[in-house]
Chains A and B, each alone.
Chain A
């Protein structure tokens, strides 16, 4: 296409006037194009970054945010386009070269050596680290950098001892220690508690105030509005537009991101029926043999969604697995209706009407290497019409897949293709299609919309609500607070394997939930009263306490 893809993309470069003197421009990407397998992930994207600003890169999954960042970080070589750093055209052939130019990126998956200490990780790969490194001076430098930007971690702690939030701080420290002045953070808040996120924002502001430039990748509007100075929206690999955050209207941003208006759901609460799933005093071990679930009591009634909130790794997975029979429970009981299913097999539970949407879609929810036809038959293959005695009818399997494909609007399916090649949204639709077509009485849905784009999230949530209205009892485990608030009829918060609190969604604010998720009950109310005005400082302090 030679014409303008969108009207907003034909913007003037705001920095062209700054020709003389100190360039205010930290980085400028011009017409970056990068394709994978012939599919453009970035299509002639322009992007500019000023010193001392936090520039948010907003877009849905697959909009090309990570690709653009990886180009700037030297990880990908663009098919075409130019990169200017500090006013000078550069060719970044590797992340090392980008680092030499002062550009560093914190990836979603951390790249730290678990057994090494914080200081050792910083020394690793640093050009000035000699054969013998001075541990003490290194540790002092780390501590100093940490103090300066509110990135406090003990330099002597081994990585495996640190929380995810602390590990992220180490990643940032590592880049600062290497002299990075352009910092790219790829969805940094995805792994953080609300408090940790606030602390990160404080750090980002401190760095920007120091004159450094930060690219903040996110698909969460609120965060972008809160922390950034400017925002650039990407959609389908193209730049939709850039603006000062102060001038940005949330609804307009959302529209730019999605390309359509978001409909807000009218809440219609149905009357909950009798208890469909009851969990009493459930205690279970995690994979490492340590109790991951302690004395959990839960009840989900017909026509009710109970949302389980919590930061990942606080027993959510164990709870779901114990309920569906994939994990042995040490103590306690699980009832389906009034039948005790604590000691029954997974298969029996399935037959009794227990459906499960697991968080790990590709290896648990689906056999990723198999075609979708087979995956849609995963549970139904035992019953007619799919099976006839010991045989499975290939034709019936395919017919069923086709019916479900239409019914649940699963798109992009070619039948011989491995399921893992489908998009996340379609995979999740397919899992729901399979689970719901069995007409379950109880559905356990773990992270039902994680990693999906806005349209898919919307569709999946609607499916869950419809299912609830049809009478199904749904236990929804999610780290997405918005989702918890929006869908749940009752909220429980899981923290370190225990129920930290139970809330009516009307009484739940993100602050209250966040405090409960971080393991605090007593001062949760006080914090909530302080509200958003309390700002980053309060949050930074509280997370500093917990560290």
Chain B
């Protein structure tokens, strides 16, 4: 492809995938470039970029409070990121982590409350509560997975739509009914009932709870499963070529089912951990902030690497964590949103530049054909 620019032209040709070192260094360079572009924009909008960046770093990572806050925010993001990674690896586009997370929270809080009502708590209760969250997420994803696997429906639409159904269920349970989940003692504004204290996830320091380590373990487990198990091998093959998978005797329908359900389980577990580690109850306002959608961004930035999800989720969480603090200093929080967008573009763009060689050269006599495949005979 080429783009004429006066006497010059910009040509683009696909190039061989560069060395491992370059591939590793590229995201860092992309982030640096993105920060540079962001700085120019911040400067142009009348703010001090250095102040903005130092404040963002300070509010995101500076000190125990900021750091633990960031890590707490990163926890569900890691899990929804993993949900996207496992599905996207097989080119199954699960856009429903949001709803799966909500259903996970509904099930976790429901089971947690029921266990508490029946005098069961402590570690056993926590395990059951989180398992219920993961299971509910898996089942919710399964609703989209079954027709996808056997009727070849479009999972993008079904998972997306199920988000709204999940949101409706949660709102109904708290706002529109006197359900098991709702706290009957609060008459003025409807609130979810809190689970028993013994089922709160263990806290280390500040608000940092054991959920982070569950998420880290989940990332490690997914990394290992994709890399070393027969299931992972089959996901790998199916993601690249479903026909080759069928040809070699794999059951692609079951793989779709299992991958989507595992994806849903990660998101559901995220919902359960939010209930057990942060909220203590089913809180519709806190559970509909788009963590499921953010997971897609995290997975894309991590280039679908389960371990890469961890640093990316923490970075994104630090931005979120820094927003209110910046506002106080008179730096509009939109700058953070803007920066997120710029970084996303830069990392995705960096990927593209890795695979394509772009050259500016003096133009040959006439315009060259555009959109012609450059395959040698």
Contact = CB atoms under 8 A, between A and B. Distances in A.
B354 interface: no
Interface in A226-284: none
B228 A91 contact: no
A370 B376 contact: no
Contact of B241 (A36, A76, A363): A363
Interface string A293-335: 0000000000000000000000000000000101000000000
Please indicate which of the listed interface residues B247, B251, B366 has the most CB atoms of chain A within 10 Å of its own CB.
Answer: B247
A99 to B, nearest CB: 12
Interface string A354-376: 00101010011111111000110
A91 B365 contact: yes
Most buried by A among B230, B232, B237, B241: B241
Contact of B229 (A76, A93, A356, A391): A391
B46 to A, nearest CB: 48
B152 to A, nearest CB: 14
B367 interface: yes
A14 interface: no
B377 interface: yes
Nearest to B244: A367
> Which of A346, A347, A387, A391: most chain B CB closer than 10 A?
A391
A519 interface: no
A390 interface: yes
A202 interface: no
B21 interface: no
Interface in A30-75: 36-37, 39, 41, 62-67, 70, 74-75
Contacts of B374: 36
A326 B230 contact: no
Contact of B366 (A66, A97, A326, A370): A97
Contacts of B229: 390-392
A77 interface: yes
Contact of B228 (A358, A366, A392): A392
A378 B233 CA distance: 9
B246 A93 contact: no
Contacts of A76: 372
A428 to B, nearest CB: 15
B364 A77 contact: yes
Interface residues of A, number: 51
Among B13, B243, B248, B367, the most chain A Cβ lie within 10 Å of the Cβ of B248
A93 B236 CA distance: 43
Contact of A65 (B231, B232, B247, B377): B377
Given A36-B374, A41-B376, A390-B230, A364 B249 contact: no
A95 interface: yes
Interface in B249-272: 249-251
A75 B372 contact: yes
Nearest to A349: B249
Contacts of B241: 363-364, 366-369
A373 to B, nearest CB: 11
Contacts of B249: 345-347, 349-351, 379
A326 B247 contact: yes
B245 A39 contact: no
Contacts of B231: 390
Interface in B326-377: 364-369, 372, 374-377
Given A345-B249, A379-B248, A392-B228, A94 B366 contact: yes
B16 interface: yes
A365 B244 CA distance: 6
A382 interface: yes
A370 B230 contact: no
A36 B15 CA distance: 10
A9 B115 CA distance: 88
Contacts of A391: 228-230
Contacts of A392: 228-230, 232-233
A401 to B, nearest CB: 14
B240 interface: yes
A93 B367 CA distance: 6
A381 interface: yes
Contacts of A64: 377
A41 B189 CA distance: 75
B237 A367 contact: yes
Contacts of A126: none
- Residue of B13, B372, B377 with most chain A CB atoms under a 10 A cut-off: B377
A370 B243 contact: no
A403 B276 CA distance: 53
A378 B241 CA distance: 12
Given A70-B377, A367-B237, A387-B230, A37 B247 contact: no
A439 interface: no
Interface in A373-402: 374-375, 377-379, 381-382, 387, 390-392, 394
Contacts of B240: 367-370
A346 B375 CA distance: 35
A461 B328 CA distance: 77
Contacts of A63: 377
Contacts of A347: 249-251
Contacts of B376: 36, 39, 41, 62, 67
A360 to B, nearest CB: 7
Contacts of A363: 241, 243-244
A36 B374 CA distance: 8
B289 to A, nearest CB: 36
B247 A364 contact: yes
Interface in A398-428: none
Given A91-B366, A390-B231, A358 B377 contact: no
A245 B354 CA distance: 49
B229 to A, nearest CB: 5
Nearest to B369: A94
Contacts of B244: 363-367, 375, 378
Contacts of B232: 392
Contact of B377 (A41, A364, A390, A394): A41
B241 to A, nearest CB: 4
Contacts of B13: 37
Nearest to A377: B233
A324 B246 CA distance: 11
Contacts of B365: 91, 93
A118 B237 CA distance: 42
Interface string A90-131: 010111010000000000000000000000000000000000
A360 B243 contact: yes
A378 B237 contact: yes
A356 B233 contact: no
A74 B248 contact: no
A325 B227 CA distance: 29
B370 to A, nearest CB: 9
Contacts of A369: 240-241
Contacts of A370: 236-237, 240
A75 B364 CA distance: 14
Given A367-B240, A381-B233, A391-B228, A77 B368 contact: yes
B247 A365 contact: yes
A367 B245 contact: yes
Contacts of A381: 230, 233
A62 B366 CA distance: 28
A74 B369 contact: yes
B255 to A, nearest CB: 13
A93 B368 contact: yes
11 contacts: A67-B376, A74-B369, A75-B372, A351-B249, A363-B241, A363-B244, A369-B240, A369-B241, A377-B233, A379-B248, A392-B232
Given A41-B377, A346-B247, A350-B248, 5 more contacts: A36-B375, A95-B369, A365-B244, A368-B240, A379-B249
The 10 closest A-B pairs by CB, nearest first: A66-B377, A93-B366, A347-B249, A367-B240, A378-B248, A367-B241, A36-B376, A367-B244, A369-B240, A41-B376
